[in-house]
Structure 1
Amino acid sequence: MARILAIDYGKKRTGLAVTDPGQIIASRLTTVPTHTIWDFLKDYFQKEEVETVVVGYPKQMNNQASESVRFINPFLKKFQQKYPEINLEIYDERFTSKMAFQTMIDSGLKKQKRKDKALVDAISATIILQDYLEQKRNLLR
């Protein structure tokens, strides 16, 4: 099987998470400056087989797309043009940054480390991917 890659796309930084080849475990991969995302993806796709890319898509409480989708939509369009062979899915990412921050607290990270926004972005991508995998498994039951 090929991997699933999750992207928490941001204006400044983009968090990434990936599954193992068996698509069982979601793991934090890295955070890259958003302006380098295309170079990162090109290199990563040359090294690893990726079946699906899941992109966090922020929604408001009323289920409408949030203001930040104006940065995400052009990314999605360009991704589909560059990589039409890779399945692209959007996934509601409401509260993932808050969940990531709480995960950092629960795991005992010191206050200084919790201020690391790149770490928050990568953990957010991992939460998006883990939720996506759980939803996918529940649909198969």
Structure 2
Amino acid sequence: MRVLALDYGSARCGCALSDPTGTLATPIEHIERPGTRKGLVRVADLAREREVGRIVVGLPLRLSGEDSDQTRETREWAERLKARVAPIPVELYDERFTTRIAARSSDTKTSEDSRAAAVLLDDWLALHGSELA
């Protein structure tokens, strides 16, 4: 089963996709303005085109673990996405530090947002990948 990871931001949504075995995470092209109707449709279409079995949305918590305005916006967007892609499960996953780690990458072929989504997905797969088999 493929997993799609999303690093939501109002300007861009970074995207990463796992291989069918749930072993590798690969950054793919980001989606512009995902909070718009058109952007949300594009994310849902991507999930269906790539035949994903689960979507993981990065949750930008504060370092203290508390919510911020961005956290609340991400939660609301994830709920809208969940309604759009049902029955594909959508879950939130702590994404603290993913953007910093992605910024250190020398890969310039994909956006920093999609590299952050790949870091998020790598972390998620390390914890949950065995459940995919």
TM-score range, shorter chain: 0.7 to 0.9
Instruction: Write the mapping of 1:91-110 to structure 2, written as runs, cut at 5 A.
Output: 91-104=93-106
For residues 30 and 19 of structure 2, the distance between their equivalents in structure 1, rounded to whole angstroms, comes to 18
Q: Deviations over 1:37-76 (max 9, x none)?
A: 3232233234221111000001112111232123212211
The runs of 4+ residues in structure 1 deviating greater than 3 Å are 137-140
Q: How many residues align?
A: 129
TM-score w.r.t. the length of structure 1 is: 0.80
SS of structure 2 residue aligned to 1:18: strand
Alpha-carbon separation, structure 1, partners of 2:52 and 2:99: 25
> What RMSD over aligned residues (CA atoms) do the two structures have, in Å?
2.3
* Secondary structure of 1:53's aligned partner: strand
2:8 maps to 1:6: no
Which residue type is aligned with residue 54 of structure 1?
Answer: V
CA contact (8 A) 2:2 2:21 kept: yes
Matches of residues 84-123 of structure 1 in structure 2 within 5 Å? 84-104=86-106, 119-123=111-115
TM-score by length of 2: 0.85
- Alpha-carbon offset, residue 139 of structure 1: 8.0
- Say if 1:38 and 1:23 are closer, same or farther in 2 by CA, change over 3 A: same
Q: Greater helix percent: which structure?
A: 1
Structure 2 runs not aligned, ≥5 long: none
Percentage of matched positions with identical amino acids:
29
